[in-house]
Amino acid sequence: MEDNFFKKFGQKTQQKAREDRLAKALRENLRKRKYQQRARIEQEEPVTDEDSFENAVFQEGERAPENQDTEKETPK
């Protein structure tokens, strides 16, 4: 009966208030993560046409192996 009283007058129950706070916190965390991800992407240097994707994923000073076949020929 107490819940009906609060609902009639537009007041939030404790459970509803808790759910609203949780939803607000989740939205805020999502917004922050998106902002941080955008900031990281903007800080990264774009890959030039001269660099292939394979070479771009290695750290500076390391290069991808040049044309190494990973598959061995199978005898027929």
In this prediction, residue 22 carries a pLDDT of 96
Return the pLDDT at 38. Answer: 87
Q: In terms of residue numbers, what domain contains 36? A: 12-46
Can you list the residues of the chain whose pLDDT is less than 70?
A: 1-12, 45-76
In a domain, 34, yes or no: yes
Query: Does residue 64 fall inside a structural domain?
Result: no
- Domain for residue 70, yes or no? no
Q: Is residue 51 part of a domain?
A: no
Judge whether 54 lies within some domain.
no
d(CA 24, CA 28): 6
The structure tokens 């107490």 sit at: 2
pLDDT value at residue 43 = 77
Query: What residues contact 55, with CB distance under 8 A and at least 6 apart?
Result: 63, 64
pLDDT at 59: 54
Number of compact structural domains in the chain: 1
